[in-house]
Amino acid sequence: MSNDITYDAVRTDFIEKTGLITQAEGLPRIAGRVFGMLIFDGEVVSFGDLATKLQVSRASISTSIRILEERGLVKRVTKPGERQDFFQLAPNPYATMLERIHKRNRSIQADIAETIRSLPANSEALGRLNAHANFYASLDAAVAVALSELDTSRNTSAMLQPTAPKDYADDA
Amino acid sequence: MSNDITYDAVRTDFIEKTGLITQAEGLPRIAGRVFGMLIFDGEVVSFGDLATKLQVSRASISTSIRILEERGLVKRVTKPGERQDFFQLAPNPYATMLERIHKRNRSIQADIAETIRSLPANSEALGRLNAHANFYASLDAAVAVALSELDTSRNTSAMLQPTAPKDYADDA
DNA sequence: CGTTTTGTTCAGTCAAAACTAAACAAACTT
DNA sequence: AAGTTTGTTTAGTTTTGACTGAACAAAACG
């Protein structure tokens, strides 16, 4: 097929962009590329293939996978008769990401509340600190809404599972 | 007053925590401390005081302020008869922060949509990419909700301005 | 005018983090 | 058993970015 080149370009582009996005979220770029590759390809991907196709060292794959596993975004699986480890997206990675944000937000809110509690009741700063707390509270509420929305459409989560193997050309 | 020491400790603690939080959001730590100091102290603070009280170089204050101004979180003001520049919180910094997130989200969504558009209609990856897009869409919708909530309570935004000491109830 | 104050810019230092190669350990193969 | 394959860990390199001091330009002061 002549448009395989285009297809691969789109794929590589998506993977690179995902790497940049997650980098801005505080993840190493390679971890983001692994995540992007798993989203795009869907299939279960072997450790070796990750290193080869992304053209990075096995050590980088190892640490990236560790981070992604810790965050609950990726699952390690094995295949009978195969010695390598394989990886796929965790069941609902997006909900997991939101949970994480949620948790962090609540931690921040607790810190601010602690600050407020430690101040004298007539402190001039209370108004601004309450506004500050309110910001994180409403942000948190919004995340909770998004989370419930994601759960609602979880029937759609079947989309996330790896499906029939298809042969993409030999990446870029 | 004997509890002045405690008050300063609470203040310093809040400022440092704010520095750490904003650092995780991709801002330099000092910028976060400046932001935290303006929240806590509320008053208009001079350039020199920022450097002195935060114990950092004037160069750092300069770049931090530049970043905070670019993001619309801080406003530079002058005082008649005073040579120094002074700084205070921008009118509604929290809404501005949410706007920024909103903008970024939409940019990401556009990228993903572009990827989807570039793929053949029967591509096996479409399902997962749609789920990916959906994640950012619902996150974005949630942010929009939080934004409108903030706007709703904008009567409260008077709290953000440096005013006469008023005592808001001390909820937590 | 020269001097001082003030904020920005530039060059350089330092620290943190990403990434790699190499050493390693564990499991499999023969 | 010896030798492979596979993933992790460690040591080292490189890059990135925060921060500082010094040079600088502009304005105010004397």
Domain count of chain B? 2
pLDDT tens for each residue of B68-121 = 999 999 999 999 999 999 999 999 999 999 999 999 999 999 999 999 999 999
> A78 with A97, same domain?
no
B169 sits within 7 Å of strand D by its CB: no
pLDDT digits (tens, 9 = 90+) for B29-55: 999 999 999 999 988 999 999 999 999
A114 and A37 within one domain: no
Tokens of B57: 């170089």
- Tell me the C-alpha to C-alpha distance, in Å, between residue A121 and each of A114, A117, B10, B113, B167: 13, 8, 14, 51, 7
Domain residues for the domain of B114 are 93-158
Q: Is the pLDDT confidence value at A162 over 60?
A: no
Q: For strand C, list residues 52-81 of chain A whose Cβ lies within 7 Å of it.
A: 55-60, 63-64
Residues B45 and B108 in one domain: no
User: Looking at the structure, do residues A71 and A47 belong to the same domain, yes or no?
Assistant: yes
**pLDDT at residue A169, rounded to an integer:** 41
Question: A95: buried, middle or exposed (CB in 10 Å: 19+, 13-18, 0-12)?
Answer: buried
H/E stretch holding A74 reads strand A74-78
User: Which residues of chain B does A39 touch, with a Cβ-Cβ cutoff of 8 Å?
Assistant: 125, 128-129, 132
ipTM over 0.90: no
Q: In angstroms, rounded to a whole number, what is the distance separating the alpha carbons of residues B138 and B141?
A: 5
Do B72 and B12 sit in the same domain of this protein? Answer: yes
Chain A residues with CB under 8 Å of B146 CB are 138-139, 141-142
Residues A44 and A11 in one domain: yes
Q: What Cα–Cα distance (Å) separates residue B66 from each residue in A42, A104, B34, B74, B130?
A: 43, 28, 11, 9, 38
* Mean confidence (pLDDT) of chain B: 87
Same domain, A78 and A26: yes
Higher pLDDT, A48 or B166: A48
Q: Are residues A19 and A73 in the same domain?
A: yes
Are residues B84 and B103 part of one domain? no
